[in-house]
Amino acid sequence: MVYVPPENTCDAHCHVWGPVARFPFQENRPFTPPERTKDDLAALYRRLGITRSVIVQAVVYGTDNAAMLDAIAHSGGRYRGIALIDDSFDEKALIKLHEGGIRGVRFGFVQHLGRRPDLGFFRRTVARIAPLGWHAQIHLDAGDLLELREELDKLTIPFVIDHMGRVDAAKGLEQAPFQALLEQVKRENCWVKVSGSDRVSAAGAPFTDAVPFARALIAAAPDRVVWGTDYPHSNPRHLIEDDAGLMELLPQMADEAGLRKLLVDNPARLYGFQS
């Protein structure tokens, strides 16, 4: 049976790549993805019944957020974005990003993608985005949940942990990184993306071994969890044949009321969609 999501469902984590002729990738990039444009994204959403979206700036573009901003501008107010920035962005540039639909900055600590931000930049940027009401989006490896615990504890603005902390399902719910994540999510400013089931899964499709982790996070913070497809799936751990399969996991993660919070109410509040 095909899962039909509620009205105003939000995909809180996806990317756009291209058209490359208009939005070329930066030369110094960690990988080269296939072209997946805003039109490809819209077609996927029509098929899956998704209305709203949060596009996360792709590392292959660095701090050139143009492709993402273009997709947001053509969405009729249904898309928001998470930017990558550096110290060259002054206050005027940040305000322009806000006007373009940006609601947060992503910080990438994942080792294989390189370019981990130094903590000085991290702290400066967090202080600069606070007046805009933005949040910090944290992309890390499971072990970083332990390494960066003290730094995360210092955050006073909202922050969002990507992809269930990229924990390994094979290591179980009691593994130290996941327990650290459960401790973090008890804080009123910590959110988690219940996304990346394919990244968490050790068994592969249909990725059901990731479901207990999603359930635990939703139970721990039902008002501070959001969900995303992670389309188009850069550097996947397992092959994704169809994003509809990821949506079929949703009814296993929560009941109808919990799914409405996860898919509609929580992202509306975090990203500023009109209810």
For residues 13 and 31, give the distance between their C-alpha atoms in angstroms, rounded to a whole number. Answer: 19
Rama region for 204: left / alpha / beta (φ>0; ψ in -120 to 50; rest): left
Dihedral angle sign, alpha carbons of residues 246, 248, 249, 250: positive
Distances (CA, A) of 197 to 141, 180, 191: 14, 19, 17
CA distance 133 to 101: 12
CA neighbor of 165 nearest in space, from 183, 148, 177:
177
Cβ burial, residue 189 (10 Å; 0-12/13-18/19+): middle
Q: Which residues does the annotation mark as catalytic? A: 230
> Do the beta carbons of residue 34 and residue 61 sit within 8 Å?
no
